[in-house]
Amino acid sequence: LVRSLKNAPQYWLDTGCGTGSLIARAVSIFPTTHFLLADPSAEMLVQAKQQLHASGVQNVTFYEPTASQRLSAVLDHTPEVITAIQSHHYLNADGRQQATCACYHLLAKDGVYVTFENIQPDTEFGVEVALNRWMHYQRAQGRSEHVVQEHRQRYNHNYFPITVAQHLALLKTIGFRIAELLWYSQMQAGFYAIK
């Protein structure tokens, strides 16, 4: 997607970077880009540092544990790309709006924001079907019934999905001039938006 939209960005922020696996892949495609990694979890940042340093990645800056909503206080560059992969669905409605708004304001003009999140189907019936499919998949992978039930109970308790339409509306309301669905499968979807 980033290759299709623009030349190599000078700065790319990955917020909620987790273990750094996205940037580990992106760095080989964009060797001249400087990557900025942020995550609210100190443990995730330790893993990301270990993974990227073990791979010999030099063009990376790690920030102290920081949530997307608070990045303006620490970020010292203007990224042309911001990615938030599987991170903002852990926030409630206000938190998600604040995080997305913060990313919008941090982004360079004409920059691209990419987010992938767990999503909510449009109907309660759709939610039930999707959760049941997820449970069947986990059982087929050998997970215990206890773990399967635990995962099901996380929905709307540990993470707070919204529908595809709500995602697109949020991106447009915040001010992105373009907001598009990029990918959709089961209970996950990816979006991109241009400032």
What pLDDT, on the 0 to 100 scale, is given for residue 50?
A: 95
Q: Could you list the pLDDT tens digit for every one of the 195 residues in the chain?
A: 999 997 899 999 999 999 999 999 999 999 999 999 999 999 999 999 999 999 889 999 999 999 999 999 999 999 999 999 999 999 999 999 999 999 999 999 999 999 999 999 999 999 999 999 999 999 999 999 999 999 999 999 999 999 999 999 999 999 999 999 999 998 999 999 999
pTM of the predicted protein model: 0.94
Q: Which amino acid makes up residue 39?
A: D
